[in-house]
Amino acid sequence: MTITATATSPTPVRTTAPALWRPALVVGIAASAATAALAATAHAAGVSLDVDGEPIPVLGFANLTFICVALGYLLAIAVRRWAARPRHTFVVTTLGLTALSFLPDLMVPDTAPSTRLVLMATHVVAAAIVIPAIASRLSENQSR
């Protein structure tokens, strides 16, 4: 009787992190629509959207929001690659950047307090939509 043993080497399992571009695109569109809707609603309610004597077009809110989401997407790609705790790093960084985004709204002279409030509210609305959606795609246990 002959016994034949076959040795098998474990096949390396490569885990692929979930794609970020699709959720970033979806939340970018959603956040852009939400900030534009907030600005349009505020404007319809009589809040001036003038900053430094120039009106901000409602679509300007959507455009700038989408650009900021694209930058957030790039940040997520970077922390996914280089941070030891990508989700934590992304959330802390983006919350800090959201807080810093209030500074220009507070520092522009000759802007009505209601306008400043609307501008800051659009930052909060966009962050509330974007940060959790992208952070949920970042794992704390990334294998390098």
Predicted confidence (pLDDT) per residue in 79-118, tens digit: 999 999 999 999 999 999 999 999 999 998 889 999 999 9
Residue-averaged pLDDT of the chain = 90
The alpha carbons of the chain give a radius of gyration, in whole angstroms, of: 22
Whole-angstrom distance, CA of residue 78 vs CA of residue 103: 25
pTM for this prediction? 0.84
Closest CA to 101 of 85, 121, 87: 121
**DSSP assigned state of 10:** P
Whole-angstrom distance, CA of residue 88 vs CA of residue 132: 11
